[in-house]
Amino acid sequence: MYIILYYIQYIIYCLLYIKYCILYIIYYTLYIIYYILYIIYIIYIYITYDILYIRYYILDVTATIGNVFLYLVSQARECWICRDVGSEPLIHPCACRGSAQPVGSIALHRIFHQVGMGQNPGT
Protein backbone atom coordinates (compact mmCIF):
# COMPACT_ATOMS: atom_id res chain seq x y z
CA MET A 1 0.00 0.00 0.00
CA TYR A 2 2.82 2.38 0.84
CA ILE A 3 4.53 1.57 -2.38
CA ILE A 4 1.42 2.46 -4.37
CA LEU A 5 1.12 5.74 -2.49
CA TYR A 6 4.80 6.38 -3.05
CA TYR A 7 4.41 5.83 -6.82
CA ILE A 8 1.30 8.01 -6.97
CA GLN A 9 3.15 10.71 -5.08
CA TYR A 10 6.13 10.30 -7.44
CA ILE A 11 3.85 10.58 -10.50
CA ILE A 12 2.25 13.72 -9.06
CA TYR A 13 5.69 15.25 -8.47
CA CYS A 14 6.70 14.35 -12.01
CA LEU A 15 3.55 15.93 -13.42
CA LEU A 16 4.12 19.05 -11.36
CA TYR A 17 7.73 19.16 -12.53
CA ILE A 18 6.59 18.83 -16.15
CA LYS A 19 4.02 21.55 -15.55
CA TYR A 20 6.72 23.90 -14.16
CA CYS A 21 9.03 23.04 -17.03
CA ILE A 22 6.30 23.90 -19.53
CA LEU A 23 5.61 27.13 -17.66
CA TYR A 24 9.30 28.05 -17.72
CA ILE A 25 9.46 27.26 -21.42
CA ILE A 26 6.45 29.51 -22.03
CA TYR A 27 7.91 32.22 -19.79
CA TYR A 28 11.29 32.25 -21.53
CA THR A 29 9.67 32.05 -24.95
CA LEU A 30 7.62 35.13 -24.11
CA TYR A 31 10.75 36.76 -22.72
CA ILE A 32 12.61 36.10 -25.98
CA ILE A 33 9.66 37.39 -28.02
CA TYR A 34 9.61 40.52 -25.88
CA TYR A 35 13.28 41.21 -26.57
CA ILE A 36 12.89 40.48 -30.28
CA LEU A 37 10.04 42.99 -30.43
CA TYR A 38 12.13 45.45 -28.44
CA ILE A 39 15.01 45.09 -30.91
CA ILE A 40 12.60 45.58 -33.82
CA TYR A 41 11.27 48.70 -32.09
CA ILE A 42 14.80 50.09 -31.61
CA ILE A 43 15.62 49.42 -35.27
CA TYR A 44 12.36 51.14 -36.26
CA ILE A 45 13.28 54.17 -34.12
CA TYR A 46 16.73 54.41 -35.69
CA ILE A 47 15.33 54.08 -39.20
CA THR A 48 12.66 56.68 -38.46
CA TYR A 49 15.29 58.99 -36.97
CA ASP A 50 17.50 58.53 -40.03
CA ILE A 51 14.58 59.25 -42.34
CA LEU A 52 13.67 62.36 -40.36
CA TYR A 53 17.32 63.44 -40.37
CA ILE A 54 17.51 62.88 -44.13
CA ARG A 55 14.27 64.85 -44.61
CA TYR A 56 15.66 67.66 -42.44
CA TYR A 57 18.93 67.59 -44.38
CA ILE A 58 17.08 67.72 -47.73
CA LEU A 59 14.94 70.62 -46.49
CA ASP A 60 18.06 72.38 -45.21
CA VAL A 61 19.89 71.90 -48.51
CA THR A 62 16.79 73.01 -50.43
CA ALA A 63 16.51 76.13 -48.28
CA THR A 64 20.21 76.86 -48.79
CA ILE A 65 19.87 76.46 -52.56
CA GLY A 66 16.80 78.71 -52.45
CA ASN A 67 18.70 81.34 -50.46
CA VAL A 68 21.63 81.22 -52.88
CA PHE A 69 19.22 81.54 -55.82
CA LEU A 70 17.49 84.52 -54.22
CA TYR A 71 20.87 86.11 -53.53
CA LEU A 72 21.98 85.61 -57.13
CA VAL A 73 18.69 86.98 -58.45
CA SER A 74 18.99 90.00 -56.18
CA GLN A 75 22.57 90.58 -57.37
CA ALA A 76 21.64 90.30 -61.05
CA ARG A 77 20.25 93.79 -61.22
CA GLU A 78 19.32 95.37 -64.44
CA CYS A 79 19.41 98.90 -65.64
CA TRP A 80 15.93 100.34 -65.32
CA ILE A 81 16.37 102.37 -68.51
CA CYS A 82 17.62 99.82 -71.04
CA ARG A 83 16.90 96.60 -69.06
CA ASP A 84 20.44 95.40 -69.71
CA VAL A 85 21.96 92.97 -67.20
CA GLY A 86 25.68 92.74 -66.69
CA SER A 87 27.19 94.25 -69.85
CA GLU A 88 28.17 97.49 -68.14
CA PRO A 89 28.72 98.45 -64.52
CA LEU A 90 25.68 99.86 -62.77
CA ILE A 91 25.91 103.14 -60.92
CA HIS A 92 23.68 104.70 -58.29
CA PRO A 93 23.41 108.38 -59.22
CA CYS A 94 20.88 109.26 -56.51
CA ALA A 95 19.60 108.11 -53.12
CA CYS A 96 16.70 106.18 -54.66
CA ARG A 97 15.95 102.73 -53.36
CA GLY A 98 14.41 99.69 -54.99
CA SER A 99 14.40 98.72 -58.64
CA ALA A 100 14.97 102.29 -59.92
CA GLN A 101 18.31 102.58 -58.12
CA PRO A 102 20.81 100.91 -60.49
CA VAL A 103 21.42 102.64 -63.80
CA GLY A 104 23.88 101.80 -66.54
CA SER A 105 26.33 104.62 -67.20
CA ILE A 106 25.90 104.35 -70.99
CA ALA A 107 22.11 104.44 -70.76
CA LEU A 108 22.23 107.40 -68.38
CA HIS A 109 24.60 109.27 -70.70
CA ARG A 110 22.29 108.53 -73.64
CA ILE A 111 19.25 109.84 -71.73
CA PHE A 112 21.05 113.05 -70.69
CA HIS A 113 22.23 113.54 -74.27
CA GLN A 114 18.72 113.03 -75.72
CA VAL A 115 17.01 115.28 -73.14
CA GLY A 116 19.64 117.94 -73.70
CA MET A 117 18.83 117.90 -77.43
CA GLY A 118 15.07 118.05 -76.78
CA GLN A 119 14.31 114.57 -78.05
CA ASN A 120 11.95 112.04 -76.52
CA PRO A 121 14.11 109.65 -74.42
CA GLY A 122 11.95 106.67 -75.35
CA THR A 123 12.98 106.73 -79.01
CA–CA distance, 93 with 10 (Å, rounded to integer): 112
Q: For the whole model, what pTM was predicted?
A: 0.38
% of the chain exceeding 70 in pLDDT: 66
At 46-96, the pLDDT tens digits run: 777 777 777 777 677 676 776 666 666 555 567 767 767 666 677 777 776
- Structure-model confidence comparison of residues 91 and 44, the more confident one: 44
Determine the average pLDDT of the residues in 1-14: 85
For residues 92 and 102, the answer to whether their CB atoms sit within 8 Å is yes
> What DSSP line would sit under 3-33, residue for residue?
HHHHHHHHHHHHHHHHHHHHHHHHHHHHHHH
pLDDT at residue 108 greater than cutoff 80: no
